[in-house]
Chain A
């Protein structure tokens, strides 16, 4: 069995573009759930709106990258407002069901063939990255980092994505320590107490939904930019559930948590997958075939989510006192 290859693949996942995309979306979810206590199960919709906003602005409107990014952010912010106004007054478990329903409805809508001219239907959209990759200052070629080698565009998207993560992490660090952030935490701990202090709880929740949703839409853009394909099947409920696992793995009410959580999550998944594939190829797991190994990946996500919530709800970095699943 090729241990070196398994480790190389794992190292590649640590800094991979998909990992970065999930980390960004999980940071958005940390704003929603970790800091405000909103049970948002529709994070995939915010990411999808960023991705579709960007790719539609580029392909249909022919806009340059920066206005396409703004358009994607605008789409998800608008969605947050439209979704938030009716639902943020509801109890937490209602919010969970409504957000997941809204995300699924959005996924049905973008994959519907009647909007195919714009959204590409079930095939999705592709080749919308030219404007973005034309910014790439890195000369053409293969760049060898010992454990993995990258093309100039692969390197560029990783640099952009991880810089974005650092910027947003700093932004969130200061935001959560600002008076605004303290009100959010107050809402998480005791909504009525904050209300009795004369704060408009609903408005703060809505702002939190918009901020977290916008961060997730950046994640969605990174996600589709690395492969230059945007398919509706990416934005299913599994996407959201993986984000929750990442968030709870690292620690919901922390900023480092989603970042390290995402790296560990994808690193472990890739490592387990390569080891299992190795064992299957060696004939040690006769009851499995290679395709089923990919399915077991998801099974492990489910097991991890259950075990984390039951035994360590505060995650790797979290403080148990800071995590209230109020209800």
Chain B
């Protein structure tokens, strides 16, 4: 999400310089942690010093945290890098004496900046020189940017949330292992597109197919036998928690714990005040088409109607000649295909780790619960609300609290309307 968070007026050259540096550092490989040898430090602070697009060479930059202090000089392109040993918020400052004559900071205290390495292992620090060229975006523009990002994120959530909702509707299972299907979609496209270098469309198809297979095997091998044993739903929910741990750590063992960049953020496109990327636009279209497809499937086709009948009352559906197990199998296949596709699109737009799906699992549950458990339309509405809350809230509160905001809103809505926005009363005890 942060790639899109560009302030208008920031010098594009500076931005590209940072990106180039980021890639240079990433491709050099993260050094292993070791004792006090600076070359083995795992955390990086870097930046490029540019004054009106002209690089400033031989300027000393210093990073400091508690007792630790390290300095670096900018090279002929103005770039500088400081390796530091541990996470934290570093004070980064410029030695004014080493600046060329006539160069001044935009703000009076512009020689002191902070680098936040508490969440990541790389931080870019931008010192700005000369007269201010940064124009603050107006609030309405910022809101528009956030709403756009929220729509995009909400639609991605909706794809996966409909999967949860369909499975819950037909089998009553709250599947905590659903996040791992998102993860496998994202990691499989990384495997086929980046590692095996296949065409992106082909990789996406394979990734969705493999995730679908994962869902089908999961149902046939685990959930169907448990349904046959007439296991209680809460018991099955705890089994799904165990299964999600197993699946997550298997993914970790196979794919490793590092963050995988798949789409590289795509090419940036400007729509009015909104910066977006081609990947985000394509993803949006795919989401809308898939969601429309699911809606048509559920309302217009015989299978879809049978699915809704099973959701409403399995015994009655069976009595009218519907093969309930077959419907459940189809629902699992549709749900895992949608979820895998959501994972693929998520991985392309943002990044993927073994925890990707688990991180958004609670947002998915929040979407499904908000909309009213067990209704596909409700899940879509809930997901859009959650996506909006997550993105728009970051205008008012710290970015790192945006997921917390969504979860708190979930709790508040449950107080006011326990059955969710579109749910039926029977869900509450």
- A: which residues have CB within 8 A of B? 39, 41, 83, 85-87, 89-94, 96-98, 100-102, 104-105, 108-109, 111-114, 116, 121-123, 191, 237-238, 241, 244-245, 248, 292, 295-296, 298-299, 301-307, 309-310, 313, 324-327
Contact of B244 among A83, A112, A302, A325 (CB under 8 A): A302
| Residues on B with beta carbons closer than 8 Å to the beta carbon of A94 | 369, 373, 414, 418, 427-429
| Residues on B with beta carbons closer than 8 Å to the beta carbon of A292 | 253
* Smallest CB separation, A48 vs chain B (Å): 14
CA–CA, A41 and B241, complex, Å: 10
Are the C-beta atoms of B246 and A306 separated by less than 8 Å?
A: yes
B403 within 8 A of A: yes
| Residues on B with beta carbons closer than 8 Å to the beta carbon of A298 | 245, 249
Mask: chain B, 352-364; 1 = CB below 8 Å from A; 0 = not: 0000001000100
Are the C-beta atoms of B242 and A304 separated by less than 8 Å?
A: yes
Q: Which 3 A-B pairs have the closest CB atoms?
A: A302-B245, A305-B242, A306-B242
Question: Which chain B residues in 222-273 approach chain A with CB under 8 Å?
Answer: 226, 231-235, 237-239, 241-250, 252-253
Classify the interface of chain B: helix, strand, loop or mixed.
helix
Are the C-beta atoms of B400 and A101 separated by less than 8 Å?
A: no
CA–CA, A301 and B235, complex, Å: 16
Are the C-beta atoms of B118 and A122 separated by less than 8 Å?
A: yes
* Smallest CB separation, A84 vs chain B (Å): 11
* Smallest CB separation, A30 vs chain B (Å): 15
B87 within 8 A of A: yes
The interface centre, meaning the residue of B88, B369, B373, B407 with most chain A CB atoms within 10 A of its CB, is B407
B18 within 8 A of A: no
Known: A97-B174, A310-B226, A310-B231. Contact between A108 and B400, CB under 8 A? yes
Are the C-beta atoms of B407 and A93 separated by less than 8 Å?
A: no
Are the C-beta atoms of B404 and A108 separated by less than 8 Å?
A: yes
| Residues on B with beta carbons closer than 8 Å to the beta carbon of A238 | 245
| CB closest chain-A residue, reference B416 | A86
Known: A90-B418, A327-B232. Contact between A299 and B249, CB under 8 A? yes
Known: A89-B428, A296-B253, A299-B249. Contact between A105 and B242, CB under 8 A? no
Contact of A113 among B243, B250, B400, B408 (CB under 8 A): B400
B279 within 8 A of A: no
A100-B362, A299-B249, A309-B235 are known; give 14 further A-B pairs, CB within 8 A. A90-B414, A92-B429, A93-B233, A98-B411, A105-B403, A108-B400, A108-B403, A113-B116, A241-B242, A248-B238, A296-B253, A302-B242, A303-B242, A324-B232
